[in-house]
């Protein structure tokens, strides 16, 4: 009978102890060491995490995502014994600078217009928009599709791009290193327009303004 009573007592006491340990861990346990991959984010993010309790860290993760728009995902692991926190960051890559008449931001490989917190690359491709742009918005899907296929072609050809213009009617002007402007309509068949671009280049036609927007035709002067 005594053994049974003792067992029941242990069963009765364990849950409060377990709950107490969990709350102690959340409110008082602090991580002394931080490891972040890629390491470029380490110095920037450590102040958000080091010597912080879990209660402080979780809202700080949201703050990190807001303060660093180039960060798209954070995976977190913890080593309780070593008091060590591991963060694996998935971040975007800045591919161009994009400007309208008033503002300049950056375009990443997720087609998001952002102002990254960490220093940007030098000599980025410039995109000039006649239409207003806003921070933390996505590029128009048709323009995104055009630029994606164009960058793919430029890496294969290669075609050296100097700058890109987005006109008010949504037409796109692609200027190469020879100051030739190739006009695209992102609402039409983009693959056909890129094929016409390829024909113009391999035939070594001469022209400074090349219109690829009309189906089955190339106009240039």
Q: Please write down the HEC assignment for all residues of 1-47.
A: CHHHHHHHHHHHHHHHHHHHHHHHHHHHCECCEEEEECHHHHHHHHH
Say what the pLDDT of residue 57 is: 84
Bigger pLDDT: 56 vs 190:
190
pLDDT by residue (tens digit) across 53-76?
777 888 899 999 999 999 999 998
User: Is 44 a domain residue?
Assistant: yes
Say what the pLDDT of residue 11 is: 45
Query: Contact 155/178 with Cβ under 8 angstroms?
Result: no
Instruction: Kindly give the pairing relationship between strand 125-129 and strand 161-166.
Output: parallel
Say what the pLDDT of residue 3 is: 40
161 and 185 assigned to the same domain: yes
202 and 105 assigned to the same domain: yes
Say what the pLDDT of residue 2 is: 41
Sign of the C-alpha dihedral computed for residues 58, 64, 67 and 71 taken in this order? negative
130 and 157 assigned to the same domain: yes
DSSP state of 119: P
The 3-state DSSP class for residue 147 equals helix
Say what the pLDDT of residue 22 is: 52
Which CATH number characterizes residue 177's domain?
3.40.50
User: Is 6 a domain residue?
Assistant: no
Look at residues 71, 91, 111 and tell me which one is the last residue of a structural domain.
91
What are residue 110's DSSP bridge partners?
Answer: none
Residues whose CB is less than 8 angstroms from the CB of residue 40 and which lie 6 or more positions away in sequence, other chains included: 118
pLDDT by residue (tens digit) across 4-53?
444 444 444 446 555 545 545 545 567 788 899 999 999 999 999 888 87
Give pTM, 2 decimals.
0.80
Phi, psi of 127 (to 5 degrees): -120, 125
Look at residues 50, 69, 91 and tell me which one is the last residue of a structural domain.
91
Q: How many helices (H) and strands (E) does the chain have?
A: 5, 13
pLDDT by residue (tens digit) across 85-105?
899 999 999 999 999 999 999
User: Is 144 a domain residue?
Assistant: yes
Say what the pLDDT of residue 79 is: 81
Q: Which domain holds residue 99?
A: 94-220
Say what the pLDDT of residue 54 is: 76
Say what the pLDDT of residue 50 is: 84
69 and 115 assigned to the same domain: no
Bigger pLDDT: 150 vs 120:
150
Number of domains in the chain: 2
């Amino acid at each position: 009978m005594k053994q049974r009573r003792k067992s029941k007592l242990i069963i009765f006491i364990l849950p409060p102890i377990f709950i107490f340990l969990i709350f102690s861990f959340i409110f008082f346990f602090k991580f002394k060491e931080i490891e972040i991959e890629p390491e470029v984010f380490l110095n920037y993010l450590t102040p958000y995490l080091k010597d912080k309790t879990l209660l402080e860290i979780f809202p700080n993760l949201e703050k990190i995502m807001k303060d660093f728009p180039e960060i798209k995902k954070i995976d977190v692991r913890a080593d309780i014994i070593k008091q060590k926190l591991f963060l694996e960051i998935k971040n975007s890559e800045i591919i161009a600078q994009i400007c309208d008449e008033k503002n300049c931001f950056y375009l990443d490989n997720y087609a998001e217009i952002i102002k990254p917190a960490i220093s940007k690359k030098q000599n980025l491709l410039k995109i000039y928009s006649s239409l207003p742009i806003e921070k933390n918005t996505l590029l128009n899907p048709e323009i995104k599709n055009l630029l994606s296929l164009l960058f793919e072609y430029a890496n294969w050809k290669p075609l050296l791009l100097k700058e890109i213009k987005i006109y008010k009617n949504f037409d796109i002007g692609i200027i190469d290193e020879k100051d030739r402007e190739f006009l695209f309509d992102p609402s039409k068949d983009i693959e056909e327009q890129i094929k016409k671009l390829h024909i113009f280049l391999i035939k070594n036609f001469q022209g400074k303004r090349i219109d690829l927007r009309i189906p089955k035709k190339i106009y240039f002067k």
